[in-house]
Amino acid sequence: MEPSDLRAAMARFATGVIVMSVGGESVHGMTANAFSSVSLVPPSILCCVAHSAVMHEAITKERRFGISVLSAEQEELARYFADKKRPLGPAQYDGVAWKPGPLTGAPLLTGALAWLECELSDSHTSGDHSIFIGDVLGARVGPKDSGLLFFDGAFQRLRSASPASART
C-alpha cells in the first residue's frame, strides 16, 4: 500500500480542527486534526504530532499544552498555524487574539468553541509520529457557534444544531 492510498481514504473521514499550543520557553502553535478524547475518568485526550514538527520538540520539552477547538469562523487561523512559513516563537502570535491558559500558560485562541489545558502524561511512537496523551487539567466551552471541519482535503463548516433539530 502507498501512503497516498491511506491519505485518500482518510480524507473521507471528517475531523474537527484544533490549534495545539505550548507556552513557556518553547512558545509554539500548530493546527491539527488528529485529536480525540481518550478517557473521561481520568480526563485525557490525545493528539498525534509528526516527529519533524516544531511542536514535537516543544511539547516534549514543556510537557504542558493547550487546545483551542476552532469555530467555522476561524479557518484563517487554522491556515495560519498550518503554514510552515509563519514566524516561530512568540512572534507567531503577533496580531492573533489569545490569552494565556491559567493552568499552563499556553496560548488559547480567542473565539474558539472550547479550550482544554493539559499535562503530558504519556507518549507513544508510531511510524513518523508520536501519539501524545494529555491529562486534562481544565476545560471550558465558548460560544455555541458552528464548528470547523476538515473533510476531503478541505475545510468545511458544521452548522450548530438548533435545540429543535437536536431532539429529532
- Residue 19: Cβ-neighbour burial (10 angstroms; 0-12, 13-18, 19+): buried
pLDDT in tens, 26-66: 999 999 999 999 999 999 999 999 999 999 999 999 999 99
pLDDT in tens, 114-139: 999 999 999 999 999 999 999 999 99
Which stretches of the chain are assigned E, i.e. beta strand?
15-16, 18-22, 28-32, 35-40, 43-50, 64-69, 98-100, 107-109, 114-126, 129-141, 147-151, 154-158
Q: Which domains does the chain have, with CATH numbers?
A: 3-166 (2.30.110.10)
Q: What is the pTM of this model?
A: 0.91
pLDDT in tens, 42-51: 999 999 999 9
Distance CA 92, CA 40 (A): 33
- Residues 6 or more apart from 97 whose CB is under 8 A from it? 109, 110, 111
